[in-house]
Structure 1
Amino acid sequence: MKILIADSMHPSLFNMLDEQGWDYSYHPKFIRDDIKRALPEYEGLIIRSKTYLDHELLSGAEKLKFIARAGAGLDLIDLDEAKERGIEVFHAGTGNRDAVAEHALGMLLSLFNNILKADREVRKGIWDREGNRGVELMGKTVGIIGYGNNGTATAKRLSGFGCRVLVYDKYRDNYGDAFAEEASVEQIMSEADILSLHIPLTKESRNWINRDFIERFSRPFFLLNLSRGEIVELDAVVNGLRSGKVRGACLDVLENEKLDKLTAAQQESFDYLRTSDNVVLTPHIGGWTHESYVRINEVLVKQIKDWYTFVSA
């Protein structure tokens, strides 16, 4: 089995592949055209976020049997196209769930306790205790939309802070557990103090969190997005912050993460967010830890191994 690795990967992957006796080629600098030219020679492709895997790219990959994405989201893979061609698709959803959950809590605690603002002030010689009085997480009601790997890991940690956790997942049934209770979106809008998003980017979820969605909340709330930036319209967040409907936001992802290529409207929204004291921004690093970098490889290789063992039996 020949595998093309077309993205930068943690070196731990290579030992794992060697242990299985699989042949692989590592080309982290490949661009889309390079991948398209090379794919016809390979049975497997391991990639992160290099390019969109669509009909145009996969049309000549007659030997390709699987795509393994070193991450959780699958929005850069045309799943219908892969299914039609009989290509298995693997992803490392469990590989970074702990990292995402810890990052979510870190962002939220930083926001609630004015840690970033206070740190900047103290470095400037400003000792303002009252102006940085915090908000406690204990006793808050958190609404989580998307109760998969990242959502469940986040709920587990929130429960340890004495939070009531309401969860909604349109793709699951009977998913309430010891850490969260099943709820509707309407109940979350009615009762949540905090909304945390852990959903994939789909046609349905794109721009889902807009001005209308935010206004339907019965009271001001805090917003966390550690899923995909295109799910949340930033101008709606800015509008909510200005009106007070959004009390604060923790955004690990943005609708356009190429900050040097923002539209005029996106730039206006971003300028407001980056200067706001009740916004915490990070550069899509929610699952980006040293531990998860290795764990993602472990998860992917196990999936590939289990699949290969099955099809070879």
Structure 2
Amino acid sequence: MATGTANGRDFNIVLLEGIHATALETLAAAGHTRVSSHARSLAGDELIAALAEADLVGIRSRTQLTAEVLAQLPRLAAIGCFCIGTNQVDLAAAAQRGIPVFNAPFSNTRSVAELVLAEIVMLMRGIPEKNALLHRGGWMKSAANAWEVRGKTLGIIGYGHIGTQIGVLAEQLGMNVVFHDIEAKLPLGNARQLGSLEALLAAADVVSLHVPETPATRDMMGAAQFAAMKPGSFLINASRGTVVDIDALAAALERKQLLGAAIDVFPVEPKGNDDPFVTPLLRFENVILTPHIGGSTAEAQANIGREVAAKLARYGDNGSTATAVNFPQVTLPEPAGQCRILHIHHNVPGMLARINERFSAAGINIVAQYLQTTPDIGYVVIDADADASRVAFDELKAIEGTIRCRIVC
């Protein structure tokens, strides 16, 4: 069933989970003032009620926008994930409803890299265990199992934006950096790409994970991988909780195959600050546990607020979908005519011809036209004379295969 609106810029925007004030400032600067904010995540009927009249929505990592939820939000035109991950959104269901999803893949890169660098130093000096003992009134002044990081080898699994920055920072401390990635990557500094995960695990004194959550990365660090790591090495995971088999990690720590770990993400995380946190790692004093705060700095949250809000505003104001994670990507100039028509449709043969036939039959002058597709979705942007906008809108909505149509004037 095709949906659409001719009121292209008067958006009702809902932000959940305490999104940074820079998002509000960015939206206001773009002329969007119908914005409501909620300090926490919502679920169930409460979520549906809050988003019932929303055109654009902003969330972080806790709010779950499933296919069932999206089916109850016919007005929803775009989603902004004010974070790196988008696993909390059913991306395929959103695309099938003509809803692009935006995120902030780079804004917290530095914050995560700094946390990992600090954890490398803390682990290699045995600080977590010594700190815990002193809090109990004990004292352990010893150089046993305490090393400088200079000259040690850092193994980075996933050499993307965060992995590369960690490698550069680690080299400044004198570390040797090796990395493994499923793609051939240009190394920065003196980093070296190794041909297999096994080679990296055998070489590294510290292994740091920076991979996305995919079927291929689920439990990629399990019993076999921990057994392949250097005895007395360390693991850091600031990527996704499903990447590490926590029980296998606990077993490796128990037998001292690993001398410590730093874990920021978990397979199951509390839904809020008042919920209990449960993990087999609680009993290990040589493990740094942090509550998914790799990107939780004032600077990162401010940058994320600006970045994602700007993407939502650009899509709302002129239809640009650059960097959308589930949608045809179109970077658009300002409208060449006086009115812009956005047509989202199923990617089937002959759709563009049918669209152009409607314009021709109605005698509508097309000033400019843009098209991008994915295997499932087509996105046509048409700049036309303003006086033809209503007939164009009605004609396009009537085309079989139309998912959504909107006018920006």
TM-score range, shorter chain: 0.7 to 0.9
Q: Give the secondary structure class of the aligned counterpart of 1:41.
A: coil
Counterpart-to-counterpart distance in 2, 1:197 and 1:134: 22
**CA distance, structure 2, for counterparts of residue 77 and residue 87 of structure 1:** 11
The structure that is helix-richer by fraction is: 1
- Counterpart for residue 285 of structure 1: 293
Larger Rg: 2
Alignment of 1:126-205 (within 5 A): 126-130=138-142, 134-170=146-182, 172-178=183-189, 180-183=191-194, 184-205=196-217
- The alignment partner of 1:241 has SS state of helix
Contact 1:6/1:35, CA 8 A, preserved across alignment: no
Match 2:223 to one of 211, 215, 223: 211
1 CA distance for matches of 2:202 and 2:122? Answer: 25
Q: Does the C-alpha gap of structure 1 residues 217 and 131 become closer, same or farther in structure 2, counting only changes over 3 Å?
A: closer
| Range with bigger deviation, 132-141 or 293-302 | 132-141
> RMSD of the TM alignment (CA)?
2.5
Secondary structure of the residue aligned to 1:106 is: helix
- What CA deviation, in whole Å up to 9, does each residue of 1:263-284 have, x standing for no partner? xxx5xxx2xx333232111121
- The residue identity in structure 2 corresponding to 1:112 is M
Judged with a 3 Å threshold, the aligned counterparts in structure 2 of structure 1 residues 173 and 3 are, in CA distance, closer, same or farther, namely farther
Map of 1:100 onto structure 2: 112
| Contact 2:27 2:310 (8 Å CA) reproduced | no
8 Å Cα contact 1:101/1:154 also seen in 2 = yes
Question: Aligned pair 1:4/2:14, yes or no?
Answer: yes
C-alpha change, 1:79 and 1:180, in structure 2 (3 Å) is: farther
Distance 1:128 1:277 in 2: 14
Change over 3 Å in CA distance of 1:75–1:310 after alignment to 2: same
Distance in 1 (alpha carbons) for counterparts of 2:185 and 2:267 = 32
Among residues 275, 287, 295, which one is paired with 2:283 in the alignment? 275
Deviation at 1:98, TM superposition (A): 1.0
Matched, 1:79 2:91: yes
| Secondary structure of 2:24's aligned partner | helix
Seen in structure 2, the aligned counterparts of structure 1 residues 153 and 307 have a Cα distance that, compared at 3 Å, is: farther
Residues 180-213 of structure 1: per-residue CA shift (max 9 Å, x gap): 3323323212322211111222222222211122
C-alpha separation in 1, matches of 2:94 and 2:309? 19
1:62: how far off?
2.7
Alpha-carbon displacement from aligned partner over 1:147-204 (angstroms, at most 9, x marks no partner): 223222222211211222222232x443322263323323212322211111222222
Rounded to whole Å, the distance in 1 between the matches of 2:316 and 2:46 is: 26
1:26 matches 2:37: yes
**Aligned residue in 2 for 1:298:** 306
Secondary structure (helix, strand or coil) at the match of 1:257 reads: coil
Deviations 1:122-152 (A, max 9, x none): 5666553226662111112222112223222
Q: Quick one: structure 1 residues 186 and 124, their matched pair in 2 at CA, closer, same or farther if it must change by over 3 Å?
A: closer
Cα distance 1:179–1:54, how it changes in 2: closer, same or farther (>3 A)? farther
CA distance in 2, matches of 1:303, 1:166: 35
TM-score after normalising by structure 1 = 0.87
| Cα distance change of structure 1 residues 305 and 178 upon mapping to structure 2, 3 Å threshold | farther
Distance of aligned partners of 1:282 and 1:131 in 2 relative to their CA distance in 1, 3 Å threshold: same
Gaps of 5+ in 2: 1-10, 320-333, 336-409
Give the aligned residue type for 1:239. Answer: A
Distance 2:60 2:229 in 1: 36
Local SS of the residue matching 2:235: strand
Q: For the structure 1 residues 276 and 174, does the alpha-carbon distance in structure 2 shift closer, same or farther, using more than 3 Å as the test?
A: closer
Is the contact made by 1:39 and 1:60 (CA closer than 8 Å) also made in structure 2? no
Q: What is the CA deviation profile of residues 227-256 of structure 1, one whole-angstrom value per residue up to 9, with x for unaligned ones?
A: 122221111011111223222111112223
Instruction: Work out the CA distance in 2 between the residues paired with 1:7 and 1:34.
Output: 14
**Count of aligned pairs between the two proteins:** 304
Deviation at 1:50, TM superposition (A): 3.2
Question: Is 2:63 the counterpart of 1:47?
Answer: no
The answer for the alignment partner of 1:59 in structure 2 is 71
Task: Report the AA paired with residue 166 of structure 1.
Answer: V
CA distance in 1, matches of 2:119, 2:230: 24
Paired residue type of 1:217: M
**Counterpart-to-counterpart distance in 1, 2:135 and 2:250:** 28
Q: CA offsets per residue over residues 91-146 of structure 1, 9 Å max, x none?
A: 12212111111111112211211223334445666553226662111112222112
TM-score with structure 2 setting the length: 0.68
Q: Percent identity of the aligned residues?
A: 30
- Say yes or no: does 1:223 pair with 2:235: yes
Contact residue 113 and residue 132 of structure 1 kept, 8 A: no
Residues in 1 aligned to 2:254 and 2:118: alpha-carbon distance in whole angstroms: 24
Partner in structure 1 of residue 27 of structure 2: 17
Structure 2 CA distance for aligned equivalents of residues 187 and 275 of structure 1: 31
